[in-house]
Amino acid sequence: MNGWTVAATATLAAGVGAAAWGVATGPLRRRVVAQNLSTSLACPALLLLSEGYDRPSYVDLALLLALLGPVGTLVFARLLAEDLAADPPRAWGLTYAVAGFGGVVVIAVCVAAGPGRALVKLLVVGALLIGGNLTASRALSGGFAGSRRG
């Protein structure tokens, strides 16, 4: 094990573990937030793993998760909109903390990768991760209420 895999283990145990506990218990508004945060915590963990195993192709996994995680959350935001409208989730502090953690991990992996095509890919992953996370959180808390119909 090296420093990267230790960091990935800590992220998985503390972050994703807490998200799994949050999604299994409590009111619906906490569960949707925990589901959103589980994808945005697993994505930095996958980045750390790809760096730890020294396999740049594993970054594809993080790219796919950064792309599909917010899509999954938007599915819940759209189809649970009626249930969430009465009791909208508000966890902006936690959301920004997780987004900041993702940014820190992306910057650390970028510094380790050095300039080149890999750096561009990592920056795309980081932009998708943070942008998708914030967009999905806003959709969950009813930020796009005008677009809800049917």
Whole-angstrom Cα Rg for the chain: 16
Rounded Cα distance, 49 and 110, in Å: 14
**Region at 149 (left for phi over 0; alpha for psi -120 to 50; beta for the rest):** beta
Tell which residue, 81, 68, 45, has the closest CA to residue 133.
68
13 counts as binding another protein under rule CB under 8 A: yes
**Nearest to another protein of 14, 111 (CB atom):** 14
135 binds another protein (CB under 8 A): no
As a whole number of angstroms, the distance between CA 33 and CA 92 comes to: 10
Q: Which is nearer to another protein, 109 or 115 (CB)?
A: 109
The 74-113 contact track toward another protein, x by CB under 8 A, reads -xx--xx--x------------------------------
Stretch that binds another protein, among 27-35, 87-95, 97-105, 140-148 (CB under 8 A): 27-35
Locate 72 and state its tokens.
């999954």
Separation of alpha carbons 50 and 35, rounded Å: 23
Q: Which is nearer to another protein, 42 or 106 (CB)?
A: 42
Pick from 38, 52, 64, 40: nearest CA to 9: 52
Mask of contacts with another protein, 50-69, x by CB under 8 A? ---x-x-xx-xx--xx--xx
Residues within the interface to another protein (CB under 8 A): 1, 5, 8-9, 12-13, 16-17, 19-21, 23-24, 28, 31-32, 34-35, 38-39, 42, 45-46, 49, 53, 55, 57-58, 60-61, 64-65, 68-69, 71-72, 75-76, 79-80, 83
